[in-house]
Amino acid sequence: MVAPLIPMGVIPESWNNVFAVILGFGFGFALESAGFSSSRKIIGTFFGYDFVVLKVFFTAAITAMIGLLYLSYIGWLDFSLLYIHPTFLASAIIGGIVMGIGFSMGGYCPGTSFCGIAIGKIDAMIFMVGMAIGVLIFSEAFPLLEKLYNSGNLGGKLVSDSLGMSKSLFAFLLTVVAVGMFFGATWVEKKVRKVEY
Amino acid sequence: MDRRYTLLAILVVLLAAGLLIIPNKGEKKEIKPDKLLLAINDQARFLSTDAITERIIGGDPTLQLIDVRPAKQFNTYALPNAVNIPLDSILSPSWTELLHQPGKDKVFYSNGDIESDAAWQVCTRNGIPGVFVMKGGLNHWYNTIIKGAEPSNTASGTDLDLYSFRQSARQYFTGSGDQETAQSGNDASTQKPAKVSVERKPAEKSSGGGC
């Protein structure tokens, strides 16, 4: 039995949605446990008094990356069957700026706003209404944005391939950078005036 | 700083360093030469023009026709719902998603079947599943479906059935079941009244019982 289990046909494709629900619960639980249901947490990254967001997401990324590479090495996972989301350069940059402004204005990202709603936060509910309005505007303006939306498709591109290095070397460098960042962030947190919330 | 935190950070760096030591297994997506040879010798990749025509008419959602001819030829004439991916851009990242669509039979065609077979080989070697070639290409499709010859009186039942299917297909693609009309377009002088053949069903026998 080799992963990924669904493309390999070990688990039927119709189970995709069931896993999505289970993983969704897990993701929500992890976000809430990390304290992301508070808008002050995400804003903390912007003002420099709390870098938990950076630490949690980078830890998730490097753990998954190292895990995938080891699983691939011992033959439990066929790396070539993994779906790699295509890179759309122009739309990713513009979308990133829009999302970044939204995050720092509202103090939530789409996932954490739902966590906030689940525990009854009013600001999270308002954030979600804003998000729905944004979705509506985007959908209505889609014919105008379509060209930009689909521009600069680079396909399923990996950073390691673009830099011409092996996946392992890239994984190692990224881990070192991430760990360095964790300690750097902790140092900044100590320097910045503590915010109680 | 929390000591546990430092220990975990060291552990993750060590694990990442371990990746540098383990040998790099070939990361090529390409399939092995012996598997490719087996696939090349397997004639199952060829789909007949009749089978394709039947699926086009039936509106088969699992069929994805891919025209590998240059864009100019594609714009002049192409099969319904076909996508144009000229052979030289078959590996372009913009087509990766289309070629990897799960549950679709990607059928390549060109004028003959040399270019489409080349596209098939490139895709198969690249590990793209569910790719096929339309046997004989558009030329064969035209000669059988649009210009199909009438079978002789002594032809077998299968041949007659096939001819009648091709006649209906001709009607579907050209708007006329008549070969002459199909070839000469709307020229009124050559148009003949289409023969209407009435197939009479044998009278249904009443079944013995039933509910």
Q: Who among B1, B12, B15 is closest to A186 (CB)?
A: B1
pLDDT at B25: 61
Q: Specify the DSSP class assigned to residue A115.
A: H
What would the pLDDT profile of B121-178 be if each residue is shown by its tens digit? 999 888 888 899 999 999 999 888 888 778 887 888 888 888 888 888 888 888 765 5
Give me the amino acid identity at A197.
Answer: Y
User: Count of CB contacts below 8 A, A vs B?
Assistant: 61
pLDDT at B179: 53
pLDDT at A150: 84
Number of domains observed in the structure of chain A: 1
pLDDT at A48: 84
Q: Is B71 in contact with B84 (CB distance < 8 Å)? A: yes
User: b/e per residue, A28-44, with b = 16+ CB within 10 A?
Assistant: beebbebbbbbbebbbb
Q: Which of the residues in chain B have pLDDT under 70?
A: 1, 24-29, 176-211
Query: Which residues of chain A does B102 touch, with a Cβ-Cβ cutoff of 8 Å?
Result: 13
pLDDT at B17: 92
The mean pLDDT value for A174-197 works out to 87
Q: Who among B15, B102, B127 is closest to A80 (CB)?
A: B127
Whether residue A42 is predicted with pLDDT greater than 90 in this model: the reply is no
Using a 10 angstrom Cβ sphere, with 0-12 exposed, 13-18 middle and 19 or more buried, the burial of residue B211 is exposed
Between positions 158 and 177 of A, the ones with CB within 8 A of B are 166-169, 171-172, 174-176
Within a domain: A197: no
Whether residue A16 is predicted with pLDDT greater than 90 in this model: the reply is no
**Joined tokens for residue B178:** 């008549």
pLDDT at B195: 52
Q: Who among B15, B20, B97 is closest to A169 (CB)?
A: B20
Give me the amino acid identity at B6.
Answer: T
pLDDT at B189: 37
The mean pLDDT value for A33-40 works out to 88
The boundaries of the domain holding residue A58 are 16-191
pLDDT at A132: 94
Within a domain: A35: yes
pTM of the model: 0.54
* Structure-model confidence comparison of residues A35 and A6, the more confident one: A35
Query: Which residues of chain B does A63 touch, with a Cβ-Cβ cutoff of 8 Å?
Result: 12
Within a domain: A79: yes
pLDDT at B26: 53
Within a domain: A4: no
Within a domain: A145: yes
Q: Do A175 and B127 touch (CB under 8 A)?
A: no
> What single string gives the DSSP state of each residue in chain B?
--HHHHHHHHHHHHHHHHHHHS-------PPPHHHHHHHHH-GGGEE-HHHHHHHHHTT-TTEEEEE-S-HHHHHH---TT-EE--GGGTT-GGGHHHHT-TT-EEEEE-SSSHHHHHHHHHHHHTT--SEEEETTHHHHHIIIIISPPPPPTT--HHHHHHHHHHHHHHHHHHS-S-HHHHHHTT-GGG--PPP-PPPPPPPPPPPS---
Torsion of CA A137, A139, A142, A145, to 10 degrees: 50
Full set of structural domains in chain B with CATH: 33-142 (3.40.250.10)
Within a domain: A180: yes
pLDDT at B29: 64
Q: Does B25 touch chain A (CB under 8 A)?
A: yes
pLDDT at A45: 85
